[in-house]
Structure 1
């Protein structure tokens, strides 16, 4: 029986997560970019197709450096305009960081936060990218895949978020009602599904990035077991390998 057909066990993915950091300091522009890349361990019970991992790595790398290079161009133009209008030059600072939030059952969920500050104020930009990959197929998956078939997941998620908004109406824009799309932004953690929205989308910018966690233990009947792990049902790759040898 394949591991993902079992409802009672979760397995760590046997992949190595490399920490990458690139930084630079100039007179009016500085940056510190932190982002992950993923590789196979040798001699494990299963190897992810390296082309799949290369696609993930190149996608994240491209997004991080596209963000940074876009701010390089913006800073140059802003300061050219400032010089022409006898305004003081401004200093840009770009920071990215990341977290691997779920890495089990051949499911990989990663987030990268992209931020830019001007004169140490802000952030002027604050974006959160998510990368949710099925390592067996090599494809990104949408939030509908996390739920069991025939579950009206859009209704389930929207009702939950609207319930949470109504509990703290003062934090959000007046009369905010959410009806999530099929490509709703999200990422997975060991605790549940985190639904999030962009700056100034459903709440004032100073609120930051609004996030709502749908805990697995509260929504278990709706969740595809492949995405639902608890500390009690996680197997290590070593334990799995010993089972395969029997």
Structure 2
């Protein structure tokens, strides 16, 4: 498929449903927010419903698995202090039959300090249902792991005081990331390369800076997003 058809990128016509489940059980409180994706009727392209169902089931399961695991841990500890579990989400890229979404999961103890904080990513090719990997975003033959490793290392060097001393970055093939319109955001686990108070370390690899290496299916900027031409109304004479 030519994704430069229409002289640019095209939006996925997908309905994003907001889901929220909240409950307090003694000192334990949870508020789970997560998305579900559905086809619109009568559009130019419909995603295979099985693909969307798999995405929906996975995201919902991840949210509740996180909550259930912490509830079990909390009950076993016999604590009598407030404990809060939250999830929120963002759809960060939704074009050219590519969907990228992230689910943010957090647990706060009674002092409102984040005891757990993690991001789950869902980068899906809506044509096949396959998970998109970092290598798919770059043109064939590009040493993408070297590019990302050097860029992240450079950004860390610019603010060395924020990270662990002598931290070493080696980007693996399964590096966690999500997509945005302006670039790839790679991120690390809490306390992996920086103290826990830093939060989840994130680094954006800008498409504009590395555009010669990027597969055009992923590089959607304002000037190349397709919108149908406006038909001029004929004036009655």
Instruction: Please state which band the TM-score falls in when normalised by the shorter chain.
Output: over 0.9
Asked if 1:105 corresponds to 2:104, the answer is no
1:8 offset after TM fit, Å?
4.3
Give unmatched runs, 5+ long, in structure 1.
Answer: 83-88
Give 1:181's aligned residue: 172
- The whole-number CA distance in structure 2 between the counterparts of 1:7 and 1:116 is 45
- The whole-number CA distance in structure 2 between the counterparts of 1:3 and 1:62 is 35
Give the TM-score taking structure 2 as reference length.
0.94
Structure 1 consecutive aligned stretches of length 4 or more whose deviation exceeds 6 Å:
none
Preserved contact between residue 92 and residue 118 of structure 1 (Cα < 8 Å): yes
1:27 offset after TM fit, Å?
1.4
Preserved contact between residue 192 and residue 215 of structure 1 (Cα < 8 Å): yes
- The whole-number CA distance in structure 1 between the counterparts of 2:166 and 2:47 is 46
Equivalences for 1:1-246 in 2 at 5 Å?
2-4=1-3, 6=5, 8-79=7-78, 89-236=80-227, 239=228
Give unmatched runs, 5+ long, in structure 2.
Answer: 232-237
Secondary structure at 2:90's aligned position in 1?
A: strand
Q: CA-atom RMSD, angstroms?
A: 1.5
Give the TM-score taking structure 1 as reference length.
0.90
- The whole-number CA distance in structure 1 between the counterparts of 2:54 and 2:169 is 33
Preserved contact between residue 93 and residue 120 of structure 1 (Cα < 8 Å): no
Secondary structure at 2:43's aligned position in 1?
A: coil
Instruction: Give the count of matched residue pairs.
Output: 230
1:75 offset after TM fit, Å?
1.1
- The whole-number CA distance in structure 2 between the counterparts of 1:146 and 1:47 is 23
Preserved contact between residue 99 and residue 126 of structure 2 (Cα < 8 Å): yes
Q: 1:6 to 1:175 in 2, by over 3 A?
A: farther
Preserved contact between residue 21 and residue 32 of structure 1 (Cα < 8 Å): yes
Larger proportion of helix: 1
- The whole-number CA distance in structure 2 between the counterparts of 1:194 and 1:234 is 21
More displaced 10-residue stretch of structure 1: 146-155 or 112-121? 112-121
